[in-house]
Amino acid sequence: WNMIDNQNKPQVVVIGGGPAGATVSTLLAQQGIRVELFERETFPRYHIGESLIPETYWVLKRLNMLPKLKGSPFIEKYSVQFVSGSGKQSAPFYFHDNKDHDCSQTWQVRRSEFDEMMLRNAEEHGVKTHEGVRVLDVLFEGDRAVGIQIMDANGEKREIHADVVVDASGQSSMLLNKLKLRVSDPSLNKGSIWTYYKGAKRDPGRDEGATTVLQVENKQGWFWYIPLHDDMVSIGVVGDFDYLFKGRGSHEKVFAEELELCPAAKMRIEGAEQVTKIFATKDFTYKAKQAAGDGWVLIGDALGFLDPLYSSGVLLALKSGELAADAIIAGLKKGDTSRAQLGHWEKDYLVGMERMRKLVCEYYDGFNFGRFVRRFPDHRGDITDLLIGDLFKDSLDKVFESIATMKSESEAMAE
């Protein structure tokens, strides 16, 4: 707990100390900007979202996190693998065939440990962090955000003023709710049920740390299988919210029923010991109508949440944190913290996020990775780019044209 210093008012306040908040604040502090971060929990705290994708590398590098990750016990991840409802496993998508580039590998992280590492790293870079401090509200003068109201550790309410307020409050989505900015995506109203096992099966060698996505036989859902350190595995099922949660009884019962429908997942945990309770959440896809306003910016899940299928959440948190930081740094330099300045990155970012969303929707619509790359071998690299999170280039749009072509070919065959 650092004392809040009202004499030396922060230039930027950040709500939330997850990956998005830690990223934006570290990059600001690196430029000598006075930044204070407020986190309602005391770290380490539990969080879901354990599989990173390789494009996180570039932001982690700017944050000086790479040596810490390389020295950590986190399992190295080189690929993602898909198993169809009939149990057929496609060839793994290695993130960089044949080459051992640093950036083509990433990690499976226990988020309590990863998020704490990120927050302590922020402190090392000069960010003043306040844990156990809940932000109650964002203060506005007219349309301009001017600070926050907090409940401090002694239960007292205080106001902190700043030039820019960054909302990185995750799915609490403080500003998105306050300003009624939510755009829902009813086609992706999913839910998840998950737990952890010790001693479950792992593939040998380079595939030990692969994320495996296993479709359930009835194609109503899929399992994630994420190997973590200490011989732990995170395993969870994702399906339509109503399918998983309406009228089917306890989460334990539904999880067991879904496992029966996915022999390939069940086989992997046979003989292993379940070591935690069952967790459940809704994971509805949404985004905000706008990423910034005068004096405020949204990043990470506070800006938008995308279905967990391709493990893109932490990447998007890091990326939006980086883009927002650069916009704030430039804005503070020229005394411009308007919406146009703080949110100039929003359009390109949302286009990239939309590419990932489209790939998610294709999967739920029956897209088969193996079949696609056999039909369009030239697109293998583009699919890998999408899966690693290299989303921000227009050339990838051709993939979706080819997916449409393949769909019309199969329709023609069926007639």
**In angstroms, what is the minimal distance from the CB of 279 to ligand FAD?**
8
Half-sphere CA count of 181, side-chain side, radius 13 A: 19
Q: Kindly state the DSSP code that residue 65 receives in the 8-state scheme.
A: -
End-to-end CA distance of the chain: 67
Region near ligand FAD per CB under 6 A, out of 48-56, 154-162, 361-369, 407-415: 48-56
Angle of helix 313-333 relative to helix 346-364, nearest 10 degrees, comes to 170
Asked if 172 touches ligand FAD (CB under 6 A), the answer is yes
Is the Cβ of residue 136 or residue 361 nearer to ligand FAD in the bound state?
136
Contact status, residue 288 vs residue 154, Cβ threshold 8 Å = no
CB of 193 to ligand FAD, least distance (A): 9
DSSP letters of 68-134?
HHHTS-PEEE-EEEEE-TTSPBPPPEESSTT---GGG-EEE--HHHHHHHHHHHHHHTT-EEEET-E
The rounded distance, in Å, linking the Cα atoms of 74 and 232 is: 11
122 or 174: whose CB is closer to ligand FAD? 174
Piece of the chain touching ligand FAD by CB under 6 A; list 27-35, 178-186, 289-297, 307-315: 307-315
Cβ closer to ligand FAD: 130 or 379?
Answer: 130
- Tell me whether residue 170 or residue 295 sits nearer to ligand FAD (CB atom): 170
**Cβ-Cβ contacts under 8 Å for 74 (sequence gap 6 or more):** 107, 108, 109, 110, 113, 114, 228, 229
Report yes or no: 219 and 85 within 8 Å, Cβ to Cβ. yes
Beta carbon nearer to ligand FAD, 174 or 403: 174
**Options 13, 25, 35, 39; binder of ligand FAD; rule CB under 6 A:** 39
How far apart CA 147 and CA 138 sit, in angstroms, is 6
* Residue placing its CB nearer to ligand FAD in the complex, 84 or 211: 211
Residues 53-112 that bind ligand FAD (CB under 6 A): none
- Sheet containing 157-161: give its strands across: 134-141, 144-151, 157-161
DSSP, res 270: T
Q: Is residue 168 a contact residue for ligand FAD (CB under 6 A)?
A: yes
Q: Which of residues 258-297 bind ligand FAD (CB under 6 A)?
A: 281, 283
Smallest gap from Cβ 191 to ligand FAD, in A, equals: 8
Closest distance of CB 344 from ligand FAD, Å: 20
Q: Which is nearer to ligand FAD, 149 or 368 (CB)?
A: 149
> For ligand FAD, which is the closer residue by CB, 35 or 403?
35
Regarding 26 and contact with ligand FAD (CB under 6 A), the answer is no
Contacts of 374 (CB under 8 A, 6+ apart): none
- According to the binding rule CB under 6 A, does residue 227 interact with ligand FAD? no
Residue 48 is a binding residue for ligand FAD (CB under 6 A): yes
Binder to ligand FAD among 30, 31, 41, 252 (CB under 6 A)?
41
Judged by beta carbon, residue 47 or residue 198, the one nearer ligand FAD is 47
Considering only 47, 62, 219, 358, the residue that binds ligand FAD (CB under 6 A) is 47
Instruction: Identify which of 114, 140, 131, 138 has the alpha carbon closest to the alpha carbon of residue 49.
Output: 114
Distance from C-alpha of 334 to C-alpha of 393, rounded to nearest angstrom: 29
319 lines the binding site for ligand FAD (CB under 6 A): no
Q: Which of residues 184-213 bind ligand FAD (CB under 6 A)?
A: 192
Contact footprint for ligand FAD (CB under 6 A): 15-21, 38-41, 47-52, 134-135, 168-172, 174, 192, 281, 283, 300-302, 308, 311, 313-315, 317
